[in-house]
Structures are given as C-alpha cells and as structure tokens.
Amino acid sequence: MFHALVSIKQVPDTTNIRIDPETNNLIRQGVPTILNPYDAHAVAAAVEWKRKLNGKVTIITMGPPAAVTSLRECIEMGADRAILISARQFAGADTWATSYVLTEVIKAVHAEDPIDLIFFGKQAIDGDTAQVGPGVAVRMNLPVVSYAVKIHDVNLEERSVIIERKTENRNEVIKANLPAALTCEKDIAEIPYASLPDLVYSLRYEPEVWTAEGPITFDPAQLGLKGSPTTVFKTGTPEKHVAGEIIKTAELGVDAAVKAALDKILGVEGMASMLGVKK
Ligand SMILES: Cc1cc2nc3c(=O)[nH]c(=O)nc-3n(C[C@H](O)[C@H](O)[C@H](O)COP(=O)(O)OP(=O)(O)OC[C@H]3O[C@@H](n4cnc5c(N)ncnc54)[C@H](O)[C@@H]3O)c2cc1C
C-alpha cells in the first residue's frame, strides 16, 4: 500500500513579516496563521496519489499547539493521520535542529509503517530558507527532488518515482528510487474541495501529540535553540530602488547631456576612483 508523509508548517498569514528589532524573531502576536501555501499543494498532491494508488497520507508538523488547525485542514483535504510535534524544548530551532526533529519522527513513523514518498513545500513563506526538506533528505540518506511541479508516475513494484522539476529556464524529468523526498511548487496539484465526510471527520479529529518526552527519544543537545548552530544576526528591508533620471539630448544637446551624465556618475561616492578617473 502507498504511504505518503507530508511535512507541513503553520506560518503567519502575510508575506509582510514583522521582525522584533531586539530579538530578530518573528512577531507572531496578532498575526493570523495559515497552512504554508506550498505545503497545502504538497498535501493535495499526496492525497491525489493516495487516491490513485489506494494508499494513505500522514501529516507531521513541529510547532505550537495552535498548529492543530493546520493539521485539521490537511485531514479535511483527505489526509488520514496527523502528528503534532510540540514542546517548549523544540522552540527556537533553526533549520538544522528542525530537520533533526523531523527526521527522528519520520524514521519512527517509517519503522512502523514504511513510507514511499516524503513531501515538503518548496519553502516556508516566513523563514524562506528552503533548507528543511533537503536537510531531512540528507539526514535520511534519501534522494531529493526539489522544486517539483509534477509527479508523472509512482511505481510501487519497481520502487521508483518520476518527477518533473522546475529550473530557471527549463524543466527536468527525474527518476528516483523509492523512498524519496520532494519539495513542491504550487503547480504540483490543485487544492481540492473537501468532501463532506472528510470535512466532518476533520472537525472532530484530534492529532497525536509527540513531545520531547515521548513516544520517541530525542538527543536533548540537538533540540531547539540549544541545538541550533545558526542565529538570525540581523534582519531588514532592502532599500527601495528609486526611478532612474533621464537626461534628454533633445533638450540639452549631445555634449551637455553626456557631461551631465558623467558628472552624475562621477558624483557617486567611490565611482571616480573605481573607474580610475580624476574628478
Ligand atoms: C526572518 C527569518 C529568517 C530565518 N533565517 C534562518 C536562517 O537563515 N537559517 C536557519 O537555519 N533558520 C532561519 N530561520 C528559522 C526558521 O524559521 C526555522 O529554522 C524553521 O523551523 C524552518 O526554516 P524555514 O521556515 O526557512 O523552512 P523552509 O526550509 O523554507 O521550509 C521548507 C519546507 O520544510 C517543511 N518545514 C519547515 N518547517 C517545518 C516545521 N516546523 N515542521 C514541519 N515541516 C516544516 C515544510 O514542508 C516547508 O514547506 C529564520 C527565521 C526567520 C523568521
């Protein structure tokens, strides 16, 4: 039987992230949360293949108790089981510590019920690093196909999957052995309308809660802030580009326009010495 696992993250419902200037952490108070959009499409793809191959879908997330709402949303989309990994020891994790926890959980689920495909979103719209999916795949020694836009085939007998991925200027079609991991673009699948039974089931669904104490054992040194080798040192918004100035030869004449342009360029601090010109 086909078994897909989707790793999802609950994120603030905005691309306009507000950062605490003191701590450099996200300000979460007062910001509504959503299922990370790329993850929603990954869940849709997993459910599509579950229906094609008569399988099942497990969802996991590491996050605060409120992430239960995102897990229920995945159940509403047709997933079968959901696990919330939540404890104060996991807080403040960077992508290294996040991928450690997710890997340990995925290994435990896999040992009890072998997984064929592990889905991630392309990136989370808050942290934006796109490191967690590949990080888990490397820790598990699995093939990973990033920026996936289409799953062409899953062959459970041959133990292979054919996935199309997007690159900057062309698409690539890749065959990988199962189990494999993929990080998904939104094109991977359309979000389906929930069926009435799935909707009703999701309203009452209580996800399993896994903590630092169990049901599996984690190395405490690798959790949360303590297990995170990176910290966000500084954040800021890039300066807005101002519109360029147009110097019109029709108004000034060619010579004066060229001189005016040169004066502007050489007036930029450091430009004259960079170009080797004496002002
Ligand atoms: C502004 C800002 C900058 C940051 N920069 C860095 C940085 O440079 N380096 C760093 O290590 N950390 C950074 N972090 C911390 C980062 O939020 C956490 O490491 C986070 O747990 C995962 O990183 P991400 O959000 O970038 O996820 P991504 O790697 O972008 O997420 C990709 C996919 O991984 C899965 N995933 C991600 N998080 C979880 C989760 N908690 N549970 C289940 N699945 C998950 C989802 O499928 C998601 O679509 C930053 C945070 C902020 C707010």
Element (H, E) at 147: strand 144-155
Question: Does 252 share its domain with 215?
Answer: no
Name the closest-CA residue to atom 32, ligand 1: 123
Which residue, among 220, 229, 231, has the nearest Cα to 89 in the 3D structure? 220
3-state secondary structure of 146: strand
C-alpha span between 6 and 241 (Å, rounded): 39
In this prediction, residue 232 carries a pLDDT of: 80
Which residue, among 46, 198, 183, has the nearest Cα to 115 in the 3D structure? 46
Q: Is residue 138 very low, low, confident or very high in pLDDT (cuts 50, 70, 90)? A: very high
- The answer to the question of residue 232 being in a domain is no
203: tokens are: 């309203």
CATH code where residue 146 lies: 3.40.50.620
In this prediction, residue 231 carries a pLDDT of: 83
Question: Does 184 share its domain with 265?
Answer: no
Q: Is residue 216 very low, low, confident or very high in pLDDT (cuts 50, 70, 90)? A: very high
Q: Where are the alpha helices (DSSP H) in 173-223?
A: 196-204
Question: In the listed set 222, 250, 271, which residue is the last one of a domain according to the structure?
Answer: 222
Give the nearest ligand 1 atom to 17 CA. Answer: 1
Question: Does 148 share its domain with 31?
Answer: yes
Q: Is 27 near ligand 1, meaning CB less than 6 Å away?
A: no
Provide the domain limits for residue 44: 3-222
Q: Is 8 near ligand 1, meaning CB less than 6 Å away?
A: yes
- The answer to the question of residue 230 being in a domain is no
Q: Is 129 near ligand 1, meaning CB less than 6 Å away?
A: yes
214: tokens are: 């169990």
Q: Is 86 near ligand 1, meaning CB less than 6 Å away?
A: no
Question: Does 16 share its domain with 97?
Answer: yes
Question: 74 and 10 in contact (C-beta within 8 Å)?
Answer: no
Question: Does 250 share its domain with 217?
Answer: no
Using the 8-state DSSP alphabet, how is residue 26 labeled?
Answer: B
Question: Mean pLDDT, to the nearest integer, of 232-257?
Answer: 84
pLDDT over 80 (residue 215): yes
C-alpha span between 97 and 254 (Å, rounded): 61
Question: Mean pLDDT, to the nearest integer, of 26-49?
Answer: 90
Indicate the top mutation candidate among 57, 85, 98, 209 to test ligand 1's pocket, ranked by most ligand atoms within 8 A of CB: 98
Indicate the top mutation candidate among 14, 70, 94 to test ligand 1's pocket, ranked by most ligand atoms within 8 A of CB: 94
Q: Is 10 near ligand 1, meaning CB less than 6 Å away?
A: no
C-alpha span between 180 and 117 (Å, rounded): 5
Residue 44 falls in which region: left (phi positive, over 0), alpha (psi -120 to 50) or beta = alpha
Residue 99 falls in which region: left (phi positive, over 0), alpha (psi -120 to 50) or beta = alpha
Strand partners, 172: 165
